[in-house]
Structure 1
Amino acid sequence: MAWVEPEIWYRSLPTFYAAADVLVTDEHDRLLLVKPNYRDHWAFPGGMIEAGEPPHVAAARELTEEIGLKIELGGLLVVDWAPPMGHRPSAIMYFLFDGGSVSSGITVDPDAEEIERAAFFPLAECVTLLPAHTANRATAAMAARASGRTAYLPVL
């Protein structure tokens, strides 16, 4: 391949979207999920990464914005990739960070403009509440937390 000016080369690269979420559990190993008011399904607290924002910063920001929790995040549990699908014209990268364990009695303050409800659920129930690709992240995240090794889950 011939040398190309950097600004031309960078413009030629494919783009993708990126989202960052947080796995928070309680003392019974139940997972904290949120029910966005703009979706039919539950999700991990988190959301889209803003331009120039590192994934872990986005995850912490979204956690605070959505349910008012300010938690020091632990390590990266899951990296996931999905191809363009439906209305999404580009691939998406997902980052799931460890938010540790909190008391099930912790006060969460869902942002009424975005979040209908937040609650803790056992992993087996999470798998039924989450879309299939997200349910895979829940199972992988719990295993990654136990093993200390990040999971990579590309959807091919």
Structure 2
Amino acid sequence: MPDLSDTAPDFTLPAGQGHEITLSALRPAPVVLFFYPRDDTPGCTKESIGFSELMPTFEQAGVQVFGVSKDSISSHEKFATKRNLTVPLLSDEHGQVCEDYGVWKEKNMYGKTYMGIERTTFLIDGNGRIARVWRKVKVPGHMEEVLEAARAL
């Protein structure tokens, strides 16, 4: 699990429409990676819409933003179309990036234990180092907080 000032684990993931995103190729732009559990669930929808609404502001600040989950590209594309999302969604179907970032965790809901993605956001600076980490994210106000931290880099 990477920590502050560690180099962010590099990856190449599918981004839909035949595109792939390689984290290290985005330098020197700062990058926000928000890991979320599932497409089209209430919290994930609010978070993805929130980041989409702020995309122009992130772009003005020179910051790239990506959502990451284990959902397939086709699931991401349906979710993005249904919710008018502009934030790019990356598919980590095999879960390696979730493992590398330490967000694949044992979770508990209604007394049942299962493995899933812990809602976590990473802010990566232009040198590829982790500048901020938000774990167990509560969605309200989160996107604005990430934007302020990104602007402060």
Instruction: Please classify the TM superposition score into its range, dividing by the shorter chain length.
Output: under 0.3
- TM-score with structure 1 length normalisation? 0.26
- TM-score with structure 2 length normalisation? 0.26
- Whose radius of gyration is greater, 1 or 2? 1
More helix by share: 2
